[in-house]
Amino acid sequence: MGPSLMLKNKNERDEAVRTQIVEQARLLFERYGQSKTTMSDIAEAAGMSPAHIYNFFKGKNEIIDAVGDQVFSSFAKKIKKEIDTKKDLFEKIATIFLFIYKHNRDHAFPKDDGLCIKICEGIDGWDFEKKFEGFVLKTVSDIIKQAAEPDISGDKVRNDARTILDCMFFGAVYTEIFRSLSAKEHEQRVRYQLEFIRSALLQRGYVV
């Protein structure tokens, strides 16, 4: 076996171990929370010694980031897969909004005088919103570009995508009232925001 093949096999094994650590950490975070889960707990769940786990992660914060990235990646793939089943511009953008709304509804927690959004249960400090906003902006830009006239400028695509993004996230910094809405009130809110998005697309010359 040549050196390059040996290195490849080692890298694959290391990646498999990292994945196992992250998956076990996520289960522990969801069950006990990140603050009550120790590196020793994660190592035991992953079937290794506490010392060995430090060969793959510097500490718990790095594992928390890796869990957040894993959940985010899965979340983004689900959205893209669902978008691919839709035919027109509005349906695609509405699909993104509905994913955002449902996730925010299910993962909001109180902080200061409003609510913050968890990437998943058990993780409170991961910067989900900033990263997700970037993903949504790029995805909406791509959708608009595909639906627009061939000679549309890049600046118009970016500006229109930013406007639609603002429509999607309008009201996304929820207050405590959001947690007490009934199912019917959530449904009404969704309808209102979808019409808000549709109007914004029409005003910018898109066929919806």
Residue 67 lies in a domain: no
Q: pLDDT, tens digit, for every residue of 72-131? A: 888 889 889 999 999 889 999 999 888 888 877 777 666 655 556 666 666 665 556 677
Quick one: 12 and 103 in the same domain? no
Phi then psi for residue 175, to 5 deg, are: -95, 180
Residue 62 lies in a domain: no
172-200 average pLDDT score = 78
CATH number of 2's domain: 1.10.10.60
Residue 63 lies in a domain: no
What's the pTM? 0.73
Q: pLDDT, tens digit, for every residue of 1-35? A: 555 545 457 788 889 999 999 999 999 988 888 88
Contact criterion met (CB below 8 Å) for 89 and 201: yes
Which three-class secondary structure string do you get for 133-176? HHHHHHHHHHHHHHHCCCCCCHHHHHHHHHHHHHHHHCCCCCCH
Q: How many domains does the chain have?
A: 2
Phi then psi for residue 157, to 5 deg, are: -60, -50
Q: pLDDT, tens digit, for every residue of 156-167? A: 889 999 998 888
Quick one: 44 and 95 in the same domain? no
Average pLDDT value over all residues in the chain: 82
Residue 11 domain boundaries: 1-57
